[in-house]
Amino acid sequence: MKIQKEDIIKDIQRVAKTFGVKSLKSKDFLKNSNYKLGSIRYHFETWNNALIAAGLEPVDPNKIINEHRIEIKDDLLLKDLIRLYNEYGKEPTQDLINSKGKYSTKPYRKRWKTISNAFLIAKINFGIEIKSEVSKEEDEKKNYINVKIIPETIKPKSLNKPRVVFGEPINFRGLRFAPINEQGVVYLFGMISHELGFLIESIRTSYPDCEGKRCFDKDKNQWEHVQIEFEYCSSNFLQHGHDEKICDVIVCWVHDWKECPIEVLELKSVIRYLSN
Secondary structure class of 240 (helix, strand, coil): coil
Residues 47 and 86 in one domain: no
Residues 116 and 35 in one domain: no
Work out how many domains the chain is built from and give that number.
Answer: 3
For residue 18, give its domain range: 5-66
Between 161 and 168, whose confidence is greater?
168
Q: Let me know if residue 77 belongs to a domain.
A: yes
pLDDT on residue 274: 81
Mean pLDDT for the chain overall: 84
Residues 216 and 267 in one domain: yes
Averaged pLDDT for residues 24-44? 86
Q: Let me know if residue 221 belongs to a domain.
A: yes
Instruction: Give 20's pLDDT tier (boundaries 50, 70, 90).
Output: confident
Q: Let me know if residue 16 belongs to a domain.
A: yes
The residue among 17, 34, 66 that closes a domain is 66
pLDDT on residue 275: 63
Name the β-bridge partners of 229: 250
Q: Let me know if residue 42 belongs to a domain.
A: yes
The residue among 45, 66, 87 that closes a domain is 66
Q: Is the pLDDT of residue 49 over 80?
A: yes
Is the Cβ–Cβ distance between 117 and 92 less than 8 Å? no
Q: Let me know if residue 144 belongs to a domain.
A: no
Is the Cβ–Cβ distance between 122 and 78 less than 8 Å? yes
Q: Answer yes or no: pTM beyond 0.85.
A: no
Residues 269 and 173 in one domain: yes
Q: Let me know if residue 160 belongs to a domain.
A: no
Residues 191 and 238 in one domain: yes
User: Mind spelling out the 3-state secondary structure of 176-210?
Assistant: EECCCCHHHHHHHHHHHCCCCCEEEEEECCCCCCE
Q: Let me know if residue 30 belongs to a domain.
A: yes
- Model confidence over 117-155: pLDDT tens digits? 888 888 888 776 544 444 444 555 555 566 777 787 777
How remote is the C-alpha of 173 from its chain's centroid? Answer: 18
Residues 23 and 101 in one domain: no
pLDDT on residue 72: 78
Between 209 and 4, whose confidence is greater?
209
Averaged pLDDT for residues 219-243? 94
Q: Let me know if residue 133 belongs to a domain.
A: no
Residues 239 and 174 in one domain: yes
User: For the ranges 20-34, 69-83, 253-267, which has the lowest average pLDDT?
Assistant: 69-83
The residue among 48, 66, 84 that closes a domain is 66
